[in-house]
Amino acid sequence: QSFKLLGFLDVKNVPCSRESVLYGSVGSLVVGLGHFLATSRVRRSCDFAVGGFICTMLGYWFYCRYNLAQHRIRQRMLKEGMRNKILFEGSSLDPERRQTGNEGSNS
């Protein structure tokens, strides 16, 4: 069962959204409570809590999405390398065969 935050962000199906909301709520609690303990102003502390939620959530969202993109790029490169290894193994285009062939002719 999916949960939509603000009516459009599907927390279950969008990558990094669940963690972003969880870290944002923890950040909101820390910033709001910290500001309240420092100043004892309730309304201003709530404003800081909302700002802390937004900043923490967006910060972790971009961090997580960047890492996810890097992971997908590495995964695609590895998949392509494995496909090429299988495709060229044993043929004249195999880099390992060329290296061993050159070493044998030099000796």
CA atoms of 107 and 90, how far apart (whole Å): 22
pLDDT value at 101 more than 60:
no
11-65 pLDDT, tens digit each: 677 788 889 989 999 999 999 999 999 999 999 999 999 999 999 999 999 999 9
Two structure tokens written together for 86: 């299988």
Q: What angle do CA 58, 60, 61 make, to 5 degrees?
A: 60
Q: Give the residue ranges of DSSP H helices in 11-94.
A: 17-39, 42-88
Q: Where are the domains of the chain?
A: 15-86
Separation between Cα atoms, residue 64 and residue 15, nearest integer Å:
9
Q: What are the tens digits of pLDDT across the range 67-85?
A: 999 999 999 999 998 888 8
